[in-house]
Amino acid sequence: MMKKSYCLGIESTADDFSVGISNFDGKILANVISAYIPEKGGIHPREAARHHAEVADKVLEEAFKKAKIKLKEISIIAFSQGPGLGPCLRTGATVARALAAYLNVPLVGVNHCVAHIEIGKLTTGAADPLTLYVSGGNTIVSAFDSGRYRVFGETLDIALGNCLDVFAREAGLSQRAGLPFGAMVEKIAGKGKKLIPLPYTVKGMDVSLSGLLTATVNLLKQSTYSLEDLCYSLQETAFSMVTEITERALTHTEKKEVLLTGGVAANKRLQSMIKYIAEEHDANFCVAPTQFSIDNGAMIAWTGILAYRHGVTTPVEKSFVRLKWRLEEVAIPWIK
């Protein structure tokens, strides 16, 4: 008897708790995301983890409703094993272990960064891209070579999304459901005209964003410039830096596709810059659709399938979360 197989993926590295369901052909049947929005300040890991624990059953229920399948039709449980915030990761891992034990199906621990790249490839059709992955926690320029996703460029300190978020909070903006800080900064930046000189720090194929953030926040506090001009200048400077290192990595690796993903990928200005350099070097520009570029369970489910098909499973005793699991540490047996 033919049995349909599905993988359920759980994502909980930071402020989002998400459940995705994918079949073995990469058809995404569900991708339900619940975001934790702090009342004040940044993500408090314990508070975010509490949110994840509270919404887990509802998110799971909704995912099954969307996918129109039953719990017992799931044949693999995948979860985001790292990198990320400890309490958040542990909450997702606990749900995953419980489900896998209950259903008596294999557990697959997935690297969050690998998953971002894989879902980006699946949803855009990119085969072997140079990826710029920019989010609240990561700023990475990566491409596949000899069994691994190699990291060619990255941030030396804070991530691009983090830089924009902290600035937005310092400016007194408040996050609302469906309108993240990055989108607010983008909207305000659209009204800015004056380019304020800010530190532009490219080091080899890496960038440093902490000095830029400090300088912009200091100017904000002096109230010499309008918020519009500050947002505009911050975006232009930071995006120019990451675009420059992406172009460097592109000429270095000579890949023929550029994939933009991660939460900041939704920014239209950044998209236009990356598109420009891709075209400049005859490479195809791809950007992951927003629901698959932000943190999502579908990417974990799909990567779980890729790994499982190549014999990768994670026994419970090895399913401890890995807070600092770097992208290039992961063997990628599914790419020849």
Partner 1 sequence: MDKVKAPILIKKGAEANLYLTEWHGRKVVIKKRLAKKYRPSRLDNQIRTYRTTHEAQIMHEAKNAGVPTPTIFLVDMKKTTIIMEFIDGKQIKQLFSNISVDKRKKICFKIGELVGRLHEYGIIHGDLTTSNMILNSEGKIFFVDFGLCEKTKELEAKGVDLHLMKRALQSTHFDFADECFKAIIDGYTEVVGSDTAKNVLDKISEIKKRGRYVAERKEGN
Site residues for partner 1 per CB under 8 A: 82-83, 137-139, 145-146, 148, 150-152, 154-159, 195, 200, 202-206, 236-237, 239-240, 243-244, 247-248, 250-252, 272-273, 276-277, 281, 323-326, 328
* Nearer to partner 1 (CB atom), residue 200 or residue 334: 200
Strand partners, 107: 77
Determine the 3-state secondary structure of 24 from DSSP.
coil
| Residue whose CB is less far from partner 1, 128 or 244 | 244
Burial class (CB in 10 A: 0-12, 13-18, 19+), 162: buried
Nearer of residues 8 and 322 to partner 1, judged by Cβ: 322
Rounded Cα–Cα distance for residues 171 and 220 (Å): 7
- Smallest gap, in angstroms, from Cβ of residue 282 to partner 1? 10
> Least Å distance between CB 157 and partner 1?
5
Query: Using N-to-C axis directions, what is the helix angle for 227-253 and 160-170, rounded to 10°?
Result: 180
Work out how close the CB of 331 gets to partner 1 at its nearest, in angstroms, rounded to a whole number: 12
CA dist 269 → 146, 188, 258 (Å)? 33, 12, 16
Q: Supply the minimum distance, in Å, between the C-beta of residue 103 and partner 1.
A: 31
Q: How far is the CB of 16 from partner 1 (least distance, A)?
A: 17
Burial of 317 (0-12, 13-18, 19+ CB in 10 A): exposed
- 34: Cβ–Cβ under 8 A, 6 or more apart, which residues? 16, 17, 18, 51, 55, 58, 59
What radius of gyration, in Å, describes the C-alpha atoms of the chain? 20
Q: Which is nearer to partner 1, 102 or 276 (CB)?
A: 276
- Cβ neighbors of 123 (< 8 A, separation 6 or more) are 288, 289, 292
Coil vs helix vs strand at 320:
coil
For the CB of residue 26, give the shortest distance to partner 1 in the complex, in Å.
27
Structure-token match 């830096």, residue found:
241
Q: Which of 279, 217, 215, 266 is nearest to 239 (CA)?
A: 266
CB nearer to partner 1: give 8 or 198.
198
Whose Cβ is closer to partner 1: residue 103's or residue 202's? 202
Amino acid at 67: A
**Residue 152: CB minimum distance to partner 1, A:** 5
Tell me how far, at minimum, the Cβ of 195 lies from partner 1, in Å: 5
Using an 8 Å Cβ cutoff, are 213 and 163 in contact?
yes
Nearer to partner 1, 116 or 248 (CB): 248
- Minimum Å gap between C-beta 231 and partner 1 is 14
End-to-end Cα distance, the chain: 32
Comparison of 15 and 30: residue with beta carbon closer to partner 1: 15
- Of the pair 224, 272, the CB lying nearest partner 1 is at 272
- What lies within 8 Å, CB to CB, of 280 at 6+ separation is 247
